[in-house]
């Protein structure tokens, strides 16, 4: 059975919608074409999000990413387009897409695009110390 690239996402219900939890995905094989030269551009994409009611299904994410392989896009455009499509499909509380494109002409390009749902505020960050309450002396 052949699987084809698609420009849509499948989603599934967030298993814990009452809790903010961080979903982190790394997509190390993203490719599209340079709109000026037609040469391939390669990037590692990092998706971080806090779901509201829906999560993105991984196979559909893979097929969506594959759909850019034969298309010409500027780095800034493709990063923001992917983020916009993910937001439309999942309506997250927070989402950040980081695109780290490999060197081209001696220049690395990193594009970071974010979305935050109106009214949502992140919980304060908690830092846990490994050595809190422990002594460095031997007795």
Left (φ > 0), alpha (ψ -120 to 50) or beta: where does 133 sit? left
The residues annotated with a catalytic role in the active site are 34, 41
Q: How far apart are CA 118 and CA 16, in angstroms?
A: 20
């Amino acid at each position: 059975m052949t699987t084809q690239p698609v420009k849509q996402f499948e989603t599934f219900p967030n298993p814990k919608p009452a809790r903010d939890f961080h979903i982190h995905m790394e997509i190390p094989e993203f490719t599209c074409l340079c709109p000026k030269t037609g040469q391939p551009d390669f990037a590692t994409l990092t998706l971080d999000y806090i779901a509201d009611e829906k999560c993105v299904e991984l196979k559909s994410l893979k097929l969506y990413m594959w759909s850019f392989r034969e298309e010409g896009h500027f780095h800034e455009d493709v990063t923001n387009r992917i983020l916009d499509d993910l937001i439309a499909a999942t309506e997250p509380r927070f989402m950040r897409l980081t695109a780290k494109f490999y060197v081209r002409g001696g220049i690395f390009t990193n594009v970071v695009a974010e979305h935050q749902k109106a009214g949502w505020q992140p919980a304060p960050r908690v830092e846990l110390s490994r050595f809190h309450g422990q002594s460095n002396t031997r007795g």
